[in-house]
């Protein structure tokens, strides 16, 4: 089925011999727990930070943004940072806590914010953008003065502009921007927000990375894979009761995981069902069962056993 992604949480196969002396059949029982199908939908990303879910103070290092409680677009209470320094051309910084990057080398930063329109504020220093920076570090070693509040040692990621600007007494509309960051090498990082005479509020910040889900296709199984480039090669194994046929090159199945968390194309796989097994569920697994004659023999054995019990009784 084109575009079908099989997300498997637990798939097990219980193989037991047929209880008939001298016969070689097997019963094969497949148990699928909490499995789900997604038609080309991205796998749920791994979130490293989401301020929208925080209920207590964020306690970021500010220079000198103000942390307050506010409401998001759905009316939920969230912790926000705001600043409005229209009369000063100075720079103002805000830095998150240290964030371990875990398995990822490419991260995505989703920023939700509001920005006041400068024409409604009557200020010659006013700006309608802010800058996003990051500082990579192998440990949580930042202080109020280290690293210095300036570009280099911080690395600039982007200048962020608002699509929707607020006016006094006007409709309240927020902006959402997603920025890619990477590749990363250190164990973690700090994010930093730099305002230069802007009147704005950071409503939420979400940091996450994408990954391709576990996949079964062409009698091969591929693990959850975190991409570290535009495409990431992934190595799989033949599914239960599938093997590489004799004479084929003994290469494990392979497939490409895209940076967006989607598997790319079709797998390279020579896996095929063992003799006595047949394809099932569009080449997702190999199915086998006792032959009908063996089942009949089993029934005869059961009947003889029951008759023997009756005679003894």
What tens digit of pLDDT does each residue of 270-310 get? 999 999 999 988 888 899 864 443 444 555 556 656 666 55
Distance CA 72, CA 67 (A): 15
Write out pLDDT tens, residues 190-235: 999 999 889 999 999 999 999 999 999 999 999 999 999 999 999 9
Going by C-alpha positions, the residue among 162, 101, 90, 91 that lies closest to residue 134 is 101
Distant-in-sequence, close-in-space partners of 299: CB < 8 Å, separation ≥ 6: none
Arithmetic mean of pLDDT, 153-165: 96
What structural domains does the chain harbor?
4-44+211-309 (2.60.40.1770), 46-209 (2.60.120.260)
Q: How many CB atoms lie within 10 A of CB 297?
A: 18
**Higher-confidence position of 22 and 117:** 117
Model confidence at 311, pLDDT cuts 50, 70, 90, reads low
Q: Report residue 53: phi and psi, to 5°.
A: -95, -5
Write out pLDDT tens, residues 129-150: 999 999 999 999 999 999 999 9
Distant-in-sequence, close-in-space partners of 68: CB < 8 Å, separation ≥ 6: 79, 80, 81, 82
Distance CA 112, CA 167 (A): 18
CA triple 42-133-122, angle to 5 deg: 110
Distance CA 78, CA 215 (A): 37
Arithmetic mean of pLDDT, 74-83: 88
């Amino acid at each position: 089925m084109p575009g079908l992604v099989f997300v498997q949480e637990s798939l097990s196969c219980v193989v037991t011999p047929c209880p008939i002396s001298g016969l070689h059949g097997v019963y094969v029982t497949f148990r699928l727990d909490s499995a789900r199908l997604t038609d080309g939908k991205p796998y749920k990303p791994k979130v490293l930070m989401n301020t929208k879910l925080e209920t207590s103070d964020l306690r970021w290092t500010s220079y000198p943004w103000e942390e307050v409680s506010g409401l998001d677009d759905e009316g939920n209470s969230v912790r926000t940072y705001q600043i409005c320094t229209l009369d000063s051309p100075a720079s103002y910084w805000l830095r998150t806590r240290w964030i371990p990057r875990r398995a990822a080398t490419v991260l995505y930063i989703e920023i939700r914010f509001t920005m006041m329109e400068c024409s409604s504020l009557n200020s010659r220093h006013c700006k309608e953008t802010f800058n996003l920076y990051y500082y990579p570090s192998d440990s949580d070693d930042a202080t109020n003065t280290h690293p210095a509040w300036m570009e280099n040692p911080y690395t600039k990621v982007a200048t962020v502009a608002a699509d929707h600007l607020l006016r006094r007494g006007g409709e309240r509309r927020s902006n959402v921007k997603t920025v890619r960051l990477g590749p990363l090498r250190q164990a973690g990082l700090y994010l930093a927000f730099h305002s230069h005479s802007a009147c704005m509020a950071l409503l939420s910040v979400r940091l996450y990375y994408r990954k391709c889900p576990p996949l079964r296709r062409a009698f091969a199984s591929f693990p959850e894979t975190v991409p570290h480039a535009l495409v990431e090669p992934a190595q799989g194994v033949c599914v239960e009761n599938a093997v590489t046929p004799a004479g084929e090159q003994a290469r494990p199945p392979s497939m490409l995981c895209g940076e967006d968390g989607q598997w790319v194309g079709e797998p390279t796989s020579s896996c095929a069902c063992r003799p006595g097994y047949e394809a099932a569920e569009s080449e997702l697994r190999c199915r086998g069962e006792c032959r009908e004659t063996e089942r009949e023999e089993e029934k005869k054995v059961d009947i003889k056993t029951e008759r023997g019990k009756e005679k003894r009784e």
